[in-house]
Structure 1
Amino acid sequence: MPAAGRSWSLGALAALVAFAFSWVPSYWADEVATVRAARLPPAELLEFTTRYVDAGHTVYYIALHYWSALFGFSEAATRGFSALGVGVAVALTALIGQRLARPRLALAAGALLALMPRLTWAGTEARSYAWTAALAAAVWLLLLIALDRGGWWWVALGAAAALSVAVFLLIATLLIAQLLFVLLGSRRRAWLPLVVTWAAALAAASPVLLMGWLERSQIAWIGPKGAFTPWTVLVEPAGELAWAYSFAVWIVLIVAAARWRRVLRAGSGWLLLAGCWVVVPFAVTITASLIGSPVFTSRYLTFAMPGLALALAAALAALGTRRVVASVAIALVLLALPAYVGQRLPFAKPRESDLRLVAQTVQAHAGAGDAILFAPGRARESLFAYPQYYRGMVDIAVKTPFPASGSFSDRTVPLADRAARLAGIRTVILVIPRHGTPCTQTRDAAALRAHGFTPTDGYPTHREVVCRFEHAGNGG
């Protein structure tokens, strides 16, 4: 099989590995935002993101909108799109290695990327992270081709760079990375066409860049400068929650650095590219966070992980005999395996999200015409993530629904201000946090009792309790 065919075959296998059991965990808050946005018609979506929030994710949302028009909005469908992105990233990473004249090492880099916990996580996330890795790899591959062939390949690089920045703004840091790669390598004269190409790309993506800057307050959640810890900088970017895997990666890189002559057998261009791809985005985002607005968080650096896979492949090759290399590679796989399994458990998402279980429990104990009410908290997102389970129910708390609310959440009002909507309602389903006040003692329960409703049952989920209230006098 030709080298390119092997790369794409590896990418297809990586996509299947990323996709396997990705549908098991429930959606969580960020994915709910994705689903809500992608369900909008493109014109309405564009109006929402440009006026209110998430302009930097508009291109991804539109792409997922059309993908979901074919495959639906189930977890398997939306996360399958991300798994496809993982496969493309792996294939392109292997092609980059082959372009640098090391076919076997290139396939090793692709395989290492496919099994990296950050990428196997990205394949289970209905967000753009997997595609940021794929687009970054495309930008680097097109640079290598443009350096060799020139001409219209610079135009292709510019188009890919513009699309990449429009999908994820921080990919703009690759301008600095690629400029360093050219200036420190053997193609110094190419700096001018590279700068011109990137200038055109940034100009094309400038509307998204401008709107992203204007909406920068939405990432204030990243936190203060104290958020930089050994865990967030050294463990999470590649290993996600697998600290042992990240520790092993660092050991391999350190040992290989001590054997730098062997590492150089991979080629100075290989190492320079890998180093620029990883170091520059980290350095820029950390520096920007220290002196200005916070932009560093580990998952934002997913697009740099193919570069780390290239560096890790070269480091592995420098360790010694084939037996040693194989042993270390197997150890890395085994250390990554717990993270892979953990990412695919039912409550694997942040805050052990159980939105699907909440929706299924509500459906099992309610019907059309019943009212649904959520206590303050994340549980209300179940209504948006799994609307099929709430079909026919009355959302009595909503005042201004998405997208008119200007955010990914609906504006709601207290039950006391919506009492008139209880007329004719016989059953109210109240969802409250499981480890909090019992069904009968919440503020909403008191308001329901004041209007003649009596609590009958409570059905606990993983993090919530689905409470059922009945009114003997309402209904027919």
Structure 2
Amino acid sequence: MWRDESTTWQVAHRPLAALAGLLARVDAVHGLYYLLMHAVFALWDGGLWALRLPSVAGAALAAAGVAAVAHRLAGERAALLAGTAYALLPPVQAYAQEGRSYALVTAAVVWATHLMLRERWAAYAAVLLLGCWLHEFAVLALFAHAPAARRSPGWRWSAAAVVAGLAPLALLSAGQARAQLGWLGRPSWQDWAAYGVLAAVVLLLARGAAERDLADLARVAVPLALLPPGLLMTVSLVHPWYVDRYVLYALVGPALLVGARLARARGWWPWLLAAVLLVPLGWWSAWLRTPESRKDDVLAVAAAVRERARPGDAVLFMPSRRREWLLSSPTAYAGLRDVALDRSPAASNTLHGTELPPERIRTALLDSPRVIALLDPQGQPLDPYPTEAAKREALATTFERCSLTTVRGARVVVYARPGGCD
């Protein structure tokens, strides 16, 4: 479990009243997903299995949806190949095994696409709106659907209904965006390069679609692959909101094109190329199932704390948002004194709680013989806030370091007053 999944776990375990209080202040964009996970844990508090099972189901539904769209536009053989291609994509596999909303959002978008092709406009609006309430950037799929909808009056009314239904969430989350997405920067050159590679592959696969009787499929697949990420990256030049997982559903486009082209392939070379590509895909797939594929490992952090902590030790999170590392392991957290904490996450309607002023943190640390400090990996930028500076100063001037344990994405450091390490 990494820290984003830990957020899902600890927020979904809050009482409904506390969950509503949190969403009024922060993370409203994930509100429906947290409510879903609250219901899952109420039915079965099965730890990581329960946390991730909805995402597994979402990825399976999305793969089935890709096959359904391909079947309608290119036939049965293309359906089997497109659904398989989608399931083999490493990013799809990554979010199929993660307790966040992105696999479910993709399932909603792809089934809305299928309903659009069948001109079931009421169902289309309902399913796409569900996807938007799971994550509001699913609304970018409307731009991708416009070319295939061919300005149908039914689609226009459905699109208007989706926008109107999303408006309350959009207004609420817009007020939270600065605090919510303040960690994001503008798209990097690597982001633009990755988008360029995606665009080149998609356009190459779509080349000659009309001659292969695939014009209708290309009209669906190409905009779905290119418009949502392209629009979000462009907007992020002004408002930095782009993260690739926010538009995971764009991968439906290349999967449709790959399945259709393989189904129409003549000769052996396309199949040889596909077989060759399975080698790096297999390696990537195996790597995604290791802790190294995540930024950190909150359960490993909690285990390291349990091994080193003594009853009554102080615990210090540097920076404060790393409190997340122990919030999903309440047994490890309960025996420690969180000396910087003012109000708990639940009491303050926040994700990670609120902390005391710098002077009170310094005083609390001076009254502590031993401190377990949880820090980011070496080389990460230090937060410049006064509370974080007070923590660093108190540890540097009053304590000596007893031990340093490095785990995935974190450092667990034991400090004691001079002479107290033994």
Q: TM-score range by the shorter chain?
A: 0.7 to 0.9
1:3 corresponds in structure 2 to none
Q: Contact conserved, 1:31 with 1:126, CA < 8 A, in 2?
A: yes
Q: Are 1:431 and 2:405 counterparts?
A: no
Question: Which of residues 205, 221, 229 in structure 2 aligns to 1:282?
Answer: 229
| Cα distance change, pair 447–396 in 1 and its aligned pair in 2 (3 A) | farther
Contact 1:434 1:464 in 2 (8 A): yes
The CA deviation string for residues 305-353 of structure 1, in whole angstroms up to 9 with x for no partner, is: 11221022223345422x3333222223222222222222223212xx1
2:158 aligned residue (197, 219, 226): 197
Which one of the candidate residues 107, 117, 125 is aligned to 1:134?
107
Q: 1:296 aligns to what SS in structure 2?
A: coil
Q: Name which of 331, 355, 367 aligns with 1:388.
A: 331
**SS at 1:373's partner residue?**
strand
**Partners of 1:398 and 1:413 within 8 A in 2:** yes
Query: Which of 342, 345, 360 is matched with 2:287 structurally?
Result: 342
What secondary structure, in the 3-state scheme, does the structure 1 residue paired with 2:183 have? Answer: helix
Contact 2:209–2:215 (CA<8 Å) still a contact in 1? no
Counterparts in 2 of 1:311-460, with a 5 A limit?
A: 311-321=257-267, 323-350=268-295, 353-376=296-319, 379-405=322-348, 407-413=350-356, 417-418=360-361, 427-432=370-375, 435=378, 443-445=393-395, 449=399, 456-460=402-406
1:143 partner amino acid: M
Following the alignment from structure 1 to structure 2, what is the Cα–Cα distance between the partners of residues 197 and 432? Answer: 49
One-letter code of the match for 1:195? R
Gap change, CA 1:260 and 1:349, over 3 Å in 2: same
Aligned to 1:14: none
Gaps of 5+ in 2: 380-390
Matches within 5 A, 1:126-165: 126-145=99-118, 147=119, 153-165=120-132
Equivalent residue for 1:94, pick from 42, 45, 67: 67
SS of 1:205's partner is helix
1:45 to 19, 25, 29: 19
Q: Which residue of 1 aligns with 2:9?
A: 35
Contact 2:321 2:352 in 1 (8 A): no
Taking the TM superposition and a 5 Å limit, the aligned residue runs for 1:262-273 are 264-265=212-213, 267-273=214-220
1:224 pairs with one of 183, 186, 191: 186
Q: TM-score, normalised by structure 2?
A: 0.84
Distance 1:259 1:225, change over 3 A: closer
Structure 2 residue identity aligned to 1:399: D
Amino acid across the alignment from 2:154: P
- What letter is aligned with 2:259? A
Distance 2:87 2:331 in 1: 34
Query: CA 1:212 to 1:162, structure 2 compared with 1: closer, same or farther past 3 Å?
Result: same
- 1:182 aligns with 149
Q: Is contact 1:427–1:471 with CA below 8 Å preserved after alignment?
A: no
Task: Go from structure 1 to structure 2 and tell me whether the alpha carbon gap of 1:383 and 1:414 turns closer, same or farther (over 3 Å shift).
Answer: farther
Q: What secondary structure sits across from 2:416 in the alignment?
A: strand
Counterpart of 2:168? 207
Q: Which range moves more in the overlay, 86-95 or 33-42?
A: 33-42
Shift of residue 229, structure 1, vs aligned partner: 4.4
Distance 2:378 2:142 in 1: 49
Question: Contact 1:89–1:130 at 8 Å: present in 2 too?
Answer: yes
> What CA distance in whole angstroms lies between the structure 1 residues aligned with 2:64 and 2:79?
10
CA-CA distance at 1:215 after TM superposition? 2.5
Distance 1:225 1:373 in 2: 33
* Partner Cα distance (1:250, 1:336) in 2: 19
Offset of 1:156 from its aligned partner?
1.7
In structure 2, give the amino acid aligned to 1:112.
A
SS in 2 for 1:222: coil
The equivalent of 2:76 in structure 1 is 103
Amino acid corresponding to residue 328 of structure 1 in structure 2: L
Cα deviation digits, residues 196-244 of structure 1 (max 9, x gap): 1222232223211221223232324332365574434245xxxxxxxxx
CA distance in 1, matches of 2:84, 2:168: 37
* Structure 1 residues 420 and 305: CA distance shift in structure 2, 3 A: same
Question: 1:37-76 counterparts in 2 under 5 A?
Answer: 37-50=11-24, 52-72=25-45, 74-76=47-49
Q: Equivalent residue for 1:307?
A: 253
Task: Report the CA distance between 1:434 and its aligned residue.
Answer: 6.0
Q: Is the 8 A contact 1:27 1:75 kept in 2?
A: no
Identity %: 27
For residue 465 of structure 1, give the secondary structure of its aligned residue in structure 2: strand
Q: 1:414 to 1:383 in 2, by over 3 A?
A: farther
Which SS does the other structure have where 1:210 is aligned? helix
Which of 456, 460, 467 is the equivalent residue of 2:414?
467
Instruction: State how far apart, in whole Å, the 1-side matches of 2:67 and 2:17 are.
Output: 37
Once residues 472 and 411 of structure 1 are traced to their aligned partners in structure 2, the CA distance between those partners, rounded to angstroms, is 32
Compared CA separation, residues 326 and 422, structure 1 to 2 (3 A): same
Could you tell me how far apart the structure 2 residues matched to 1:458 and 1:281 are?
Answer: 44
Tell me the secondary structure at the aligned position of residue 414 of structure 2: strand
Code of the aligned partner of 2:2? Y
CA distance in structure 1 between the partners assigned to 2:202 and 2:146 by the alignment: 28
The CA distance in 2 between the partners of 1:258 and 1:175, in whole Å, is 24
Secondary structure, counterpart of 2:291 in structure 1: coil
SS for the counterpart of 2:236 is: helix
Structure 1 residues 362 and 415: CA distance shift in structure 2, 3 A? farther
Query: C-alpha distance in 1, partners of 2:173/2:366?
Result: 45
